[in-house]
Amino acid sequence: MLPPPYCPSKARVALSEYIEQRGAQLPKTWRTRTLKARTLADGTVVPARVEHYAVRGSILSDGAEKTAWALIRLALKAVGEVRQVPLLRLEADAEADPTPPPVATNSEALCRTSVRGKRVAGRTVRNHLAEMQRAGIVTRVQFRGRQRDYHVWISPQFLWEAGVKPAQSAEKARFQPAETVALQPPTGTNFPPKGVHEPIQATEIETGQVDKCAAQRGQTPPVSTQATPSGYTGQPAYPCEPAQATKQGTGRANDNVGPSEPKKAPAAPDGPKTVVAKRQRDMVLEFWWAAQRELYAPINQTFTEEQGRLACNAIYFGVYGGFPADWPLHQQEKYHEQALERLGLAAGYFARNPHKYPPMPYAEHVAGKGYFDAANQKGFAGTMAWYATHLAHRGQRALADALRRARRELRQHALGTAPKRAQAKTTLELYRYHEEKLRRLGLPALERFYQHFARPAAA
C-alpha cells in the first residue's frame, strides 16, 4: 500500500523548496546593463555608466513550474485513487521504496487545465517536460498509443513524506501449529474397558407429513450466487416443490415398507438454447472489454479476475436486463450495438470532463450503486437519454446531407455537369432515386423532400 499522499498545500511547499534549494546550488552569472545619463531634480547630472551585476538562475522557467504543478496535482489524485482500491493494498516490501502510479495525459490536456492558466502550445509543454526531467522532478516519460499520449512518473518526494515506508498489511498465519506434549505413562492399574448394557425400551415413533425440500430451501444460496443458463448469477432456474406425505407406519421393525419411488428431477424451464446462451455471454464479455478500454484504461484502473466476474454479472442484469426470453436473437444483437454506442457516448463525456471519472462497475457498499446497475440512474442507465438525443441529431444530419446532395445533383444534372452516375439518368429517374433515399429516413424526411423539390415532368 502506498504511503498517505501530501495535501495540495504541502505538495506546493515541497516543490517550491526543492526549486529554491537546487537554484541556490547554481553558479552566478554576471550580466551587464548600460544606464543613460540623467538629470536629477536638484540639477545634478548623473553621467552614463555601465553596471555589472550577478544573478542566479533557476532550474525551471516560470511556465515549466506551472506545468510541474499541474502534473503533481494529477499525480496526487492518482495516488489517492490507488489507495482506495482494496485489492491493491498488497503487502509491501520493507526494503523497496514505494513507486507512485504514472499520470496518463497528453500535451493538449495539460494545456486545458485550469492550473496551467495561460494556454500554451503542445510543443511548449513537451519542452517543459524536458526541463523537469533535467531538474529531477519527472523521473520518466513514456509515450503510448497513436494520439501523442504519454505516461509521466513524478518523483515521490513531491507526493508523500520522504522516507515513509508503506504500511505493512501482512496478515498473521490463520492456524498456528500446536505444541507437542509428551504422553505420560499411566500410573495406576490399567483395567480393561467395562461394557455397560442398558435395556432397550420400546418407543413409539410418530410419523406425519414431511417436506423434503425444507432442508433444500434452507440451503439455497442467495439469488446473487445462482447461475443462469448464460453462466451469470441471478434468479433460480426453477422453484422447489414440496414433497408428498409419507406412508403411515407404526415404527416397529416388522412393518412392511415398500420400495421408495424414484425421485423425478424438476423440469427445467424453456431457457435459451446453447448457441443463444453462448452468444449472450460473448456480448457481455465484449461489452466489458470495451468498457475497460474506453472508460477505465484512461484512468489506469485495472481489475482482477474476481472483479471482472462481478462486473460481468452487473452488466448482464444492469445493462442487458438478463436478456428477456421474449427477445429474439436479432433484437438482442441490435440492442448490443446500441449499448456499445452508449458506451462511446459515456467515454466521450469523461474525456471532455477530466475532473470526473466512472465509479466501479458493480456495487461495493450500497446495493444498486454500481455504474452498470440498472437502479443507478446517474450511472450507465442515464446514457439512454443521451442516446435518444444522439439519434435525433444524427437523423437531422442525415436529412440535411440527403437534401443537400439531392439539390446539388439535380442542379448539376440540369447544367450537364453532374457526375457520370447521375448524368446517365433522366431527370425523373434522378428524382425517383433521391425520393427513395429520403423515404428510408422516414415520412417527415420525405415530406421535407416534397417541400423542396417539385416532381419533374416525364421526359
Domain identity same for 347 and 428: no
Return the higher-pLDDT residue of 197 and 124.
124
Residue 96 falls within a domain, yes or no? Answer: yes
CB 188 within 8 A of CB 32: no
Residue-number span of the structural domain to which 56 is assigned? 8-158
What DSSP element (H or E) covers 234? strand 233-234
More confident site: 369 or 455: 369
Annotate 62-96 with b (16+ C-beta within 10 A) or e (fewer).
ebbbbbbbbbbbbbbbbbeebbeeeeeeeebeeee
- Say yes or no to pLDDT of 367 above 80: yes
- What are φ and ψ of residue 227, in 5° steps? -85, 145
H or E element at residue 13: helix 8-24
Residues 323 and 304 in one domain: yes
pLDDT at 231: 57
What is the pLDDT averaged over residues 270-287?
A: 78
Distance CA 194, CA 189 (A): 14
Question: Taking the CA of residue 108 as centre, how many other CA atoms within 13 Å lie in the half-sphere pointing to its CB?
Answer: 5
Q: Are strands 49-56 and 28-35 parallel, antiparallel or unpaired?
A: antiparallel
pLDDT score of 253 more than 60: no
Concatenate the DSSP letters of all residues of 47-77 into one string: PPEEEEEEEE--SS-HHHHHHHHHHHHHHHH
Residues 283 and 141 in one domain: no
pLDDT band with cut points at 50, 70 and 90 for residue 371: very high
Answer yes or no: is 99 within a domain.
yes
Question: For all residues of the chain together, what is the average pLDDT?
Answer: 75
The answer on 399 and 326 residing in a single domain is: no
Same domain, 445 and 329: no
Q: Looking at the structure, tell me whether residues 297 and 432 fall in a common domain.
A: no
Q: Kindly state whether residues 335 and 428 are assigned to the same domain.
A: no
Question: Is 70 exceeded by the pLDDT of residue 263?
Answer: no
Residue 153 vs residue 226, higher pLDDT: 153
Q: What is the pLDDT of residue 314?
A: 92
Please report, for residues 2, 109, 419, 459, the alpha-carbon distance to residue 415 in angstroms, rounded to integers and kept in the order given.
73, 50, 11, 16
- The stretch 67-90 carries a mean pLDDT of 77
In a domain, 205, yes or no: no
Query: What are the b/e assignments for 446-457, b being 16+ CB within 10 Å?
Result: bebbeeebeebe
Closest by CA position to 66, among listed 114, 108, 103:
114
What does the pLDDT read at residue 138? 92
Which of the listed residues 131, 158, 185 is the one where a domain comes to its end? Answer: 158
194 in a domain, yes or no?
A: no
Taking alpha carbons only, the member of 221, 261, 248 closest to residue 237 is 221
Instruction: Give percent of the chain above pLDDT 70.
Output: 70
Instruction: Give CA–CA dist 428/453, Å, rounded.
Output: 12
Residue 313, in any domain of the structure: yes
Residue 211 has pLDDT above 70, yes or no: no
Query: At residue 406, does pLDDT exceed 70?
Result: yes
Measure CA 338 to chain center: 19
Q: How many CA atoms lie within 13 A of 459 on its CB side?
A: 8
For residue 264, give the nearest of 249, 244, 284 by alpha carbon: 244
Residue 342 cell numbers, joined: 452508449
Mean pLDDT of 322-346: 87
User: What is the rounded CA–CA span in Å between residue 79 and residue 85?
Assistant: 10
Is there a domain that residue 76 lies in? yes
**Structural domains of the chain, count:** 3
Instruction: Return the DSSP state at 295.
Output: I
C-alpha cell at 327: 427477445
In the chain, the percentage of residues whose pLDDT exceeds 90 is: 9
Which helix (H) or strand (E) segment is 79 a member of? Answer: helix 62-84
Last residue of a domain, one of 342, 376, 410: 376
Same structural domain, 287 and 422: no
Q: Considering only CA atoms, which of 14, 27, 28, 29 is closest in space to residue 136? A: 14
Residue 387, helix vs strand vs coil: helix
Q: Which domain-ending residue is among 158, 188, 214?
A: 158
**301 and 330 within one domain:** yes
Instruction: Output the pLDDT for position 86.
Output: 55
Partners of residue 227 on adjacent β-strands = 233
Residue 164: pLDDT over 70: no
The residue with cell 472508460 is 295
Q: Can you tell me the distance from the alpha carbon of 334 to that of 330, in angstroms, rounded to the nearest whole number? A: 6
Same domain, 297 and 403: no
Domain-embedded: residue 181 = no
Question: For 41-67, how does the pLDDT look when each residue is reduced to its tens digit (9 = 90+)?
Answer: 888 988 998 988 888 778 888 888 889
- The band of 315, judged by pLDDT with boundaries at 50, 70 and 90, is very high
Query: What pLDDT was estimated at residue 169?
Result: 42
Domain membership flag for residue 407 = yes
DSSP state of 201: P
Question: Same structural domain for residues 73 and 31?
Answer: yes
Distance CA 140, CA 152 (A): 6
Same domain, 51 and 137: yes
Cα dist from 125 to 7, 75, 309, 346, whole Å: 25, 17, 41, 28
User: What is d(CA 311, CA 318) in angstroms, rounded to the nearest whole number?
Assistant: 10
| pLDDT, position 294 | 86
The full 3-state SS of 270-293, as one line of letters, equals: CCCCHHHHHHHHHHHHHHHHHHHH
Count CB atoms within 10 A of the CB of residue 433. 14
Q: Give the span between the Cα atoms of 136 and 113, in whole angstroms.
A: 23
345, with CB counted inside 10 A (0-12, 13-18, 19+), is middle
